[in-house]
Amino acid sequence: MPTPSAASGPGDQVLPDAVDRARTEWEARYPEVDGRPIDVIGRITRISALALARFERELDPRGVTRVEYDVLSAIARADHPLRASEVTSVTGISGASTTKNVERLVKMGLVERERLERDGRVVLLSLTPEGRELVEEQFPRRLESERQMLDGLDDEEIETLIELLRRITRNVERGPRTRADRT
């Protein structure tokens, strides 16, 4: 049986959420299976989908997508112009997607390309003043939106959550293991 979603404070009623309902349905179909990973990974996935959709809506008036903003942010965080391959590495999007998004951002006047003097085959990407302005305008808004998602958690709970999610991230980045690897 799923553990109901945590209440936000003492005396608050605990109501099942979408993940609880999914786990209940899976456990009814497969009662012999431990469904607890659904409680964790299902929530991570749901939070991610909802948070990214919210951010996409917040960016819409500026005419950029979330992925385009991620490209802008990667360039903004760097202390030097980046190659497209570096943007791909930092953002985790494909090389083709990087090319497509950079092309659109260049046309919008948010990114500029510059050929490396000593090797004309290498193209470096940097923000235009308009691109930097967009990032500097949106970054605090994104942080505030994400802060609101953490409402009801105290500093210690946030630090605990960070460490637990860091461990899960390492497991995912390491990739799947065989049963022999786990023993």
181's CB contacts (< 8 A; 6+ apart) are none
CB 97 within 8 A of CB 25: no
Q: What is the per-residue pLDDT for 20?
A: 92
Report the C-alpha gap between 38 and 18 in whole angstroms.
11
One domain for residues 127 and 74: yes
Total number of domains in the chain:
2
pLDDT tens track for 48-106? 999 999 999 999 999 999 999 999 999 999 999 999 999 999 999 999 999 999 999 99
One domain for residues 58 and 74: no
One domain for residues 111 and 74: yes
| Confidence band, pLDDT 50/70/90 cuts, at residue 157 | very high
pLDDT tens track for 122-152? 889 999 999 999 999 999 999 999 999 999 9
One domain for residues 122 and 136: yes
Q: What is the per-residue pLDDT for 12?
A: 67
One domain for residues 138 and 67: yes
One domain for residues 104 and 81: yes
The full length of the chain comes to 183
**φ/ψ of residue 32, rounded to 5:** -80, -5
Report the C-alpha gap between 58 and 9 in whole angstroms.
29
Domain residue limits at 112: 63-147
| Confidence band, pLDDT 50/70/90 cuts, at residue 2 | very low
| Confidence band, pLDDT 50/70/90 cuts, at residue 119 | confident
- Structural domain includes residue 29: yes
- Structural domain includes residue 167: no
**Average pLDDT score over the chain:** 90
- Structural domain includes residue 72: yes
Quote the tokens at residue 18. Answer: 């979408």
- Structural domain includes residue 95: yes
The domain that holds 68 is classified in CATH as 1.10.10.10
Q: What is the per-residue pLDDT for 1?
A: 44
Q: What is the per-residue pLDDT for 112?
A: 97
One domain for residues 111 and 121: yes
Q: What is the per-residue pLDDT for 118?
A: 77
**φ/ψ of residue 11, rounded to 5:** 85, -10
One domain for residues 97 and 36: no
Q: What's the rounded mean pLDDT across residues 39-50?
A: 95
One domain for residues 96 and 141: yes
User: Which helix (H) or strand (E) is 43 found in, with range?
Assistant: helix 43-59
One domain for residues 70 and 118: yes
| Confidence band, pLDDT 50/70/90 cuts, at residue 9 | low
One domain for residues 72 and 120: yes
DSSP code of 13? P
How far from the centroid of its chain's Cα atoms is residue 47's Cα? 10
- Structural domain includes residue 178: no
Q: What is the per-residue pLDDT for 55?
A: 94
